[in-house]
Amino acid sequence: MAISEKLHAVGRPLLDAQLAHPTVAGIGRGDLPEPVFRSWLEQDYLFLLDYVRVFARLAWQAPDGHLGDLVDLAHATFHDELSLHRSMSAEFGADLEGAVKGPACAAYTSFLLESAATYAEGLAALYPCMWGYSTLGRILAQDPPAEPRYRAWVDTYADPGFAALTGRIAQMIDEAAPDPARAERLFREGMAHELAFWDVP
């Protein structure tokens, strides 16, 4: 079994905990209170800025064959995901420029930036975010919310293009061949940060 496949097996019950979280469930139903989503938007905006930095740090270490992949991922995050946040911020009244990292955001971004000091380990650490959101989007899209703003969020992460980017990270993890036990530990820690992130301040 490839390392990425092992991580998927480890991650599925951890993903179920996210699906059951009130914030995710509220997005899925389309009835999440606006102040909660507004806070999540602000925190995730700050998170994604550092996520771009993680991709950039890994790109510096990447083999030539995957330099373009990481540049593409940084570009997609900065332009596509952050564009979604900027457009939704106006609809929900989020203050992206005035936002301050809460404890969960600060802990998660520190973990990712530190893990990215080592190429293979950095890939394993960041994978929970991409794989988790791609899988959440696909599951929620099976019965999408009628509320158009939350539907737009679901559609973004259910998009096949986002799934393709996630698949590229899985391939890169397998090729980088991190120590399997170390990769699993970092992946589990990343999944724990993902769950904690839904407890928006």
In this prediction the pTM is: 0.94
**Has domain 1-196 been given CATH number 1.20.910.10?**
yes
**Could you write out the DSSP letters of every residue in the chain?**
--HHHHHHHHHHHHHHHHHTSHHHHHHHHT---HHHHHHHHHHHHHHHHHHHHHHHHHHHHS-HHHHHHHHHHHHHIIIIIHHHHHHHHHHHT--TTT----HHHHHHHHHHHHHTTSHHHHHHHHHHHHHHHHHHHHHHTTS--SSHHHHHHHHHHH-HHHHHHHHHHHHHHHHH---HHHHHHHHHHHHHHHHHHTS--
Enter the tokens of residue 179.
Answer: 């120590």
Q: What percent of the chain has pLDDT over 90?
A: 86
Helix (H) / strand (E) element for 102: namely none
Phi, psi at 9, each rounded to 5°: -65, -40
Residues 134-168: pLDDT tens digits? 999 999 999 999 999 999 999 999 999 989 989 99
Q: CA 176 to CA 174: how far, in whole Å? A: 6
**What pLDDT is attached to residue 164?**
92
**What pLDDT is attached to residue 80?**
84
CA 108 to chain centre: 11
**What pLDDT is attached to residue 38?**
96
**What pLDDT is attached to residue 3?**
95
Do the Cβ atoms of 30 and 146 come closer than 8 Å?
yes
Closest CA to 10 of 134, 164, 196, 186: 186
**What pLDDT is attached to residue 23?**
98
Tens-digit pLDDT profile for the chain (201 aa)?
899 999 999 999 999 999 999 999 999 999 999 999 999 999 999 999 999 999 999 999 999 989 988 998 899 889 888 888 888 888 999 999 999 999 999 999 999 999 999 999 999 999 999 999 999 999 999 999 999 999 999 999 999 998 998 999 999 999 999 999 999 999 999 999 999 999 987
Closest CA to 119 of 44, 186, 194, 48: 186
